[in-house]
Structure formats: structure tokens, C-alpha cells
Amino acid sequence: MRTIGVIGLGYVGLPLAVSFAREGCRVIGVEVDARKVQAIGEGRSYIEDVPDEELAAAGELLQASTRYAPLAEADAVLICVPTPLTRNREPDLGPLVEAGRELGRVLVAGQLVVLESTTYPGTTRERLLPLLEESGLSAGRDFHLAFSPERVDPGRTDFTMRNTPKVVGGLTEACAERARGLYEIVCDEVVPVSSPEAAELTKLLENVFRSVNIALVNELAMLTDRMGIDVWEVVEAAATKPYGFMRFEPGPGMGGHCLPVDPFYLAWRAREFDMPTEFVELAGKINQQMPYHCVAKAQRALNDRGLAVKGARIAVIGVSYKPGVGDTRESPALRIIELLSELGGEISYHDPHVAELADLGLSSRPLQDVLDDADLVLIVTAHPQVDHDAIARRARLVVDLRGITSRAHDTNVVRL
């Protein structure tokens, strides 16, 4: 039986651990958060994509603890720790360095180590490798080392670990071969590239591509607002072209761990090569403006009815960063709520996935309650189980930032 170690059991690590256990591998999980370790021990999942039943099905095959020592028994160790930004918006490799150092202390000859965390090109070779070699073992000779970006899209069911191709870049050809063999257990297609750097940059390209295209339609949404053209109608019409166009939706801005963060990893690395990544940074700038544009839109909608934001009861529908999940990291809804509160709005919210926003001192209220009170309903994130047309029928005034309500409600609905 193969034994797989997974360091960091969050949105990426836990589904990965469960995937390997499902295929009959023994999985040793290492997680610094003792509450998560306890939850796994009790069969309680804290990740929406991993139902309790799946965790229960993994049973004894998945053992989690806060200790690195058990990893010495693993054939392969996958690192899935966070790669956030510092206060100055620079790469914060703290968790990765910590994980690499701890792993270096227990590394044994013959193991394969794969980094899955999103990061700038060069991290695996320049930062992780030296920490692992503090073990006295040599990468490529005594142990194998590779980078393989995670492509999980939380909340998505049509593309899973199994049918999403996995890119792998090894330090040597043997490293890549070994990593390919590992991922073929859980994934139908593995795509080898020539180096860890190529694999690291592949992930950044994928995310920057989304960020730039979202920024493009967002800029268009700000322009169409002034021109009096419906941006959703234009996007829908353009999407009828069978080639050469890919549909991206405008919205209140970007959220989550990836899109608002990853481009900064690339921009930071690019500066070392005297190359400003202007496209990437411009996209970030435009997307960051969107919450302000959305607040101005809400302000105008109230103004048209003779109301001010100050004292208005505003119900925000959906506060997570994307539909169907409860993740609020970098969610534009948070910025929008802050801005409206600063203007004196009285904010309540409804989100079936987010029970409370502790930092803002708010808890989710039943949909009926928030609708009854509201001078303005602001649809920020369109969760699939919420009936937005029913909201548009009941509410006095709706600002729809997702183009989710039907055009039948044009008298009381203002769209982004």
C-alpha cells in the first residue's frame, strides 16, 4: 500500500488527501491548526467540497496530526500550505519555509516531495530545495522533487481532481516521472512540463488570464454605465460567436485566495528581471476599483428615489467571494459593506453559506427578514439556492451586481 503525506489540510490539501484515501492509499496529514486535526479525527469536514460522508469513507486510511515525524513513513509528501501576501503586498513564504524546514528534519532517502502551493517561478528550486537538503540528502539523487499546481475550483462538480489534467514539473526527468506515477492514481491525465519553473508559471498564467479578462469586462461595465448600454446584453451577444471569444462576466470585483493574490507573486518576481508586468498590475487595479463603482451605483439608485445612503436599510444578498461556497477571503462584498457603512448605511445580510462576518459584527439573517426591512437590496454574490427573481418581485429597489435577475423586473432593478 502506498503512503502519501499531505502538509496543510485546507481547501486544497483536504480534498487531495481524501482523493488518495479513496484510491486505497494510506494518508498522513500534517496540519498546524489543531481544531482541523480534531475535526478530521471526529469525521467532521470543514471544507464544503468534502462532505462528511467522504471523510468518513476515508476512515482509518486518513490520519491527521500536528506532527511532522510520521511523514518519515510516507512514499511521497505533498505540500499544500498557504502562500499569502505580506502587508506590503509581497509574497509571504512564511508557511512554506516553515513546512520545508520541518519536513527537512524528517525527510528520508527515496521520498518524493511535491509542492502544490501557488507561487512565483523559482520557489521550488531556490527556496524549498535548500531547506530539504538541510537533511543531508541531495535533491534529484537521494530524493525526488517536483512542483504541481493545484487546479481545484471550489464548489465545482463537473471538473474534479479525476478529470482535470494535472501539470507536473520535476527537478530532473526522474523526478517528473515519479510525480507522474503518483498523480496517475487520482487523476486521468498528467501533463509533464520541462521544469518546476514552467509548472509554477503555468499556474500563474492561468490565474492572470482570468484576472485580466475579468478586468476587461469590468472596465467595459464602467463604460457602459456611462453610455447607457446594458453590459450583460453585450456580453451575451458576443458569446454567440462560436470562435475567438471567451465569455467572462463583469461583477463586483475579485475574491478568494487566488485571483487577488497570485498576480502579485508574478509581479514581484518580474521586478527582479527589470520587467514591470503592466498588464497584470492594471488588471488588479481595475478589479480593485469595482467595489467603489458598485457603491456609487447603489448610491445613485437610492438617490433616484430621493433617498440617501445615510440611514438607508441596505440588505446585502451573498457575501462569500463566489456562488455556492462559504469562503469570504478577499470577498468584494466585505469592502462594499465597509464603504456603505462608512456612508451611514444600515447593513444587514443574508448568505446561506456564511453564518457570520465576525470582523464586521454582522450575522446572516433570514431572507424574509432582510427583505421586509430593506430600502435597497444589493445582490453581490448569486448563490444557486437563492431565488433572485423572487427577491426582485418583493423588494422595493434592487441593485443586481451579477446580472442574475430577469429583465422582467426592470422597473425596480438596476443592473451593474
Ligand X SMILES: NC(=O)c1ccc[n+]([C@@H]2O[C@H](COP(=O)([O-])OP(=O)(O)OC[C@H]3O[C@@H](n4cnc5c(N)ncnc54)[C@H](O)[C@@H]3O)[C@@H](O)[C@H]2O)c1
- Minimum CB distance to ligand X smaller for 17 or for 80: 80
**Which of the residues are catalytic?**
258
What spatial distance separates the first Cα and last Cα of the chain, rounded to whole Å? 54
- Minimum CB distance to ligand X smaller for 33 or for 304: 33
Of 6, 9, 215, 392, the residue at the interface with ligand X (CB under 6 A) is 9
Task: Measure CA 230 to chain center.
Answer: 29
Return the sign of the alpha-carbon dihedral for residues 333, 335, 338, 341: negative
Pick the closest to residue 351 from 335, 329, 333, 372 (CA basis): 333
% helix / strand / coil in the chain, to the nearest 5?
40, 15, 40
At its nearest, how many Å lie between ligand X and the CB of residue 24?
24
- Interacting residues with ligand X between 51 and 90 (CB under 6 A): 80-83
Q: What torsion do the CA atoms of 230, 318, 406, 235 make, to the nearest 10 degrees?
A: 40
Site membership for ligand X, residue 204 (CB under 6 A): no
- Interacting residues with ligand X between 19 and 58 (CB under 6 A): 30-33, 36
Helix (H, G, I), strand (E, B) or coil at 192: strand
Pick the closest to residue 84 from 280, 357, 406, 329 (CA basis): 329
At its nearest, how many Å lie between ligand X and the CB of residue 416?
24
Site membership for ligand X, residue 10 (CB under 6 A): yes
Task: Give the range of 94-102, 124-132, 275-283, 343-351 binding ligand X by CB under 6 A.
Answer: 94-102
Cβ burial of 411 (10 Å; 0-12, 13-18, 19+) is exposed
At its nearest, how many Å lie between ligand X and the CB of residue 222?
27
- Interacting residues with ligand X between 95 and 114 (CB under 6 A): 95, 98-99
Would you give the DSSP letter of residue 191? E
CB 190 within 8 A of CB 168: yes
Of 4, 11, 18, 212, the residue at the interface with ligand X (CB under 6 A) is 11
x/- map, 125-164, ligand X, by CB under 6 A? -------------------------x-x-x----------
Tell me the residue length of the chain.
416
Size of the site for ligand X (CB under 6 A): 26
Q: Which three cell numbers stand for residue 200?
A: 509554477
Nearest residue by C-beta to ligand X? 10
Q: Which three cell numbers stand for residue 226?
A: 456611462
Contacts with 153 (C-beta within 8 Å, 6 or more apart), sequence order: 159
- Minimum CB distance to ligand X smaller for 92 or for 142: 92
CB 315 within 8 A of CB 340: no
- Minimum CB distance to ligand X smaller for 219 or for 330: 330
x/- map, 246-275, ligand X, by CB under 6 A? -----------xx-----------------
- Interacting residues with ligand X between 181 and 200 (CB under 6 A): none
Residues that bind ligand X (CB under 6 A): 7-13, 30-33, 36, 80-83, 95, 98-99, 117-118, 150, 152, 154, 257-258
